[in-house]
Amino acid sequence: MLGLLAGAEGFMVAPPMRPTGACSCSLRSLPLQQRRSCRQPASRRSMTLRMATSLETDSSLLTRIEEAQSGDTIVLGKGTYVLPKPVVLSKDVTIKAEDGLLPTDVVIVGEAPTDRRGVMLTVSGANVKLQGVKILHKGGSIPGTLSNGLGSICMMVLEPGDGRNSKLTLDECFVSTETSTAVFVTGGTSRVNVDTCTIGPCGWDVESSSGYGICIFKGAHGEVLNTDVYRCAQSGIIAFYEGSSALVIQCDVGPCQLGGIAAEGQRAQMKASKVKLIDIEWKNCAEYDGGEVILLDEVHAVVNGETIVLNDDNKCETRPKPFF
């Protein structure tokens, strides 16, 4: 096991906003409903990330990642850890906070370029787990999109050329971006599991063209459980392109400026159960080009403070003023 203690400063974060009486123990040890009460943001609209104009480079985490062997666990003490360059993980590694720390106590920071796509962390042909940490992605191109090659990505799960499986697990993590998509998963052998996390804001303050929460792309599969996805400049969770699929259970999604949950492309499928869609500005559930959003049970939308039960008849209704 590799150990890591303290990181350099160089990034300022607003004080963590946890509800009064929030739990200090591991959320994994609690029943589902109690876990939800521990990780939801106190305010869905007022959280501000105060990012330093320049990042002080601390390469200690990068060095430990590069030196890790497949199967190693890197344990992080309280502090801020800066990744000075993009990281590609092609070996099985777990990166986790020390026991007893909150996810906001351990911060991993990266910065995207403004003139091209930047990916902070890529998982390719490996099984990687991040547990109990906060991940912040700074910079990037505001008008850049995933399709024009300029939109940046915080974490990408990529199918390698040799067909090996690629999997990313996020457990009790916080992920925020200045302009980029938080999680992007692509390829038929790529998977992501997100459990008891908070994803957002994602490009919200600058209305970024690539500010998605979780994007499941091109045959990939994703499962999102007990997670809050909010303040996304685009859609919260989307199964995009032919054959991609996502399962979303016991989650809150929104506000988002485009869609809440979405499926686009032939055989793209999004299944949702016990999901609340909050202040979605265009469509609560968006279906494009043959994609299908399947509501299993208890999917609700909150619009102007009113809670609406969604069904096949009203799930794709469009707001009077779409984002674009």
pLDDT in tens, 272-323: 999 999 999 999 999 999 999 999 999 999 988 899 999 999 999 886 544 4
Mean pLDDT score, 179-200: 97
- pTM for the full predicted model: 0.84
- pLDDT tens string 216-227: 999 999 999 999
Please give the backbone phi and psi of residue 322, each rounded to the nearest 5 degrees, phi first. Answer: -65, 155
- Under the banding of pLDDT at 50, 70 and 90, the label for residue 26 is low
Q: Sketch out the chain's domains with CATH numbers.
A: 2-11+56-309 (2.160.20.10)
Per DSSP, what are the bridge partners of residue 245?
221, 269
- Under the banding of pLDDT at 50, 70 and 90, the label for residue 174 is very high
